[in-house]
Amino acid sequence: MSLTFEHVTLGQRVLFGSDKAAENLAAEVARFEAKKVMMIASEREAPIAAKVASAIEVALNYDDVAPHVPVEKAEKARAAAAEHGIDLLVCVGGGSTTGLAKAIALTSGLPIVAVPTTYAGSEATNVWGLTEAARKTTGVADCVLPATVIYDAVLTLSLPADLSVASGLNGMAHCIDSMWAPRADPINQALAAEGIRALDQGLPLIKKHPQDLIGREQALYGAYLSAVAFGSATSGLHHKICHVLGGTWNMPHAQTHATVLPYVLAFNAPAAPDAAARIAAAFGTADAVDGLNHLREVLDAPRALRDYGFTQENIAEAVDIILPIIPASNPRPATAENLTELLTAAWAGTTPGI
């Protein structure tokens, strides 16, 4: 088969090393010749940020972070950055914290050094998100892509095992959805396959030994690959579903992704045999759905949307909103009927693919 595709690789420096975040951040601040650093971290993440900032001077510590970046919080943070003459944004935390740094960069053009402490992966994409009146808007702008990402698995040790599992499966969702997303290509599929392998290796180790660094390092590495793949391939069926569930019913991000993913895989796999074979190979199993189901079993992963506030009565409305935004590239045509079946199974938590 001939190969024809267009792929864009985003430019970003990645510094990876356990217990090296403070040293790496000091080197980056020097490289940027930054004089006024704004350190962004939620209250819960602030102790981690303080350690990471131990070798630099901080002009402004900022902790007014909220999930899904409410517009009013973004405006307040932008004003604070301007008032303090900030010349470098450093964010230490999960996707919500990275999202706030991106919102400031979107209007100011300030560079970001991102220090992620979950496996959400926002640090490796040029996608921003803002929420206004319960409606989440996302967009793409290269100025929000962090210039540097500093990965340090030690910073993730405090992330509880259940949240680590859900967040890691959010990364897994980036990988699997990248296999059939609108801009899927052989390069982002290769990154996604390696991301599946690394997450499949790392997450069970975290579940078993949450304080061991080896699983944490594999999961962070997999999370980075997953985000690069997703940023390049863009949103497929899975991300469209989760975006609607999160935006309309304010469902928790990582847990929603973790719950919906196996149903999307079971839905698409029979219509996408090449993608399914690659996913299965990455899991080291004969069948892609079995591979993911087995991992979820080992992880005791989030199981049913009804556990996170989604009701059976919400399904019809969700189908109405999701159906028109499903990408034409999706390997299996979606209908109101089969999407209702998918969401009903995810709501109830029945074993995917059976």
Q: Which is nearer to ligand NAD, 140 or 190 (CB)?
A: 140
Least Å distance between CB 270 and ligand NAD? 28
Cβ 353 to ligand NAD shortest distance, Å: 26
Conformational region of residue 234, where left means phi above 0, alpha means psi within -120 to 50, and beta covers everything else = left
DSSP one-letter code for 70: B
Closer to ligand NAD by CB, 130 or 280: give it: 130
Between 159 and 172, name the residue whose CB sits nearer to ligand NAD.
159
- Kind plus residue range of the DSSP H or E element containing 92: strand 88-93
Nearer to ligand NAD, 171 or 352 (CB): 171
Question: What is the residue-wise DSSP string for 218-254?
Answer: HHHHHHHHHHHHHHHH---HHHHHHHHHHHHH---HH
**CB of residue 285 vs ligand NAD: minimum separation in angstroms?**
26
| Token reading at 103 | 């919102």
**Least distance (Å) between residue 158 CB and ligand NAD:** 4
CB of 65 to ligand NAD, least distance (A): 7
Closest-by-Cβ residue to ligand NAD is 95
Among 337, 348, 323, 329, CA closest to 240: 323
* Burial degree of 324 (CB within 10 A; 0-12, 13-18, 19+): exposed
Q: Which is nearer to ligand NAD, 130 or 345 (CB)?
A: 130
| Beta-ladder partners of 61 | 39
- From the CB of 128, what's the least distance to ligand NAD, in Å? 6
Cβ atoms of 41 and 49 closer than 8 Å: yes
Task: Report the distance separating Cα 95 and Cα 213, nearest Å.
Answer: 21
The nearer residue to ligand NAD, 20 or 44, going by C-beta atoms, is 44
Residues forming the site for ligand NAD (CB under 6 A)? 42, 44-45, 48, 67-68, 93-97, 99, 117-118, 120-122, 125, 127, 129, 155-156, 158-159, 163, 167, 170, 253-254
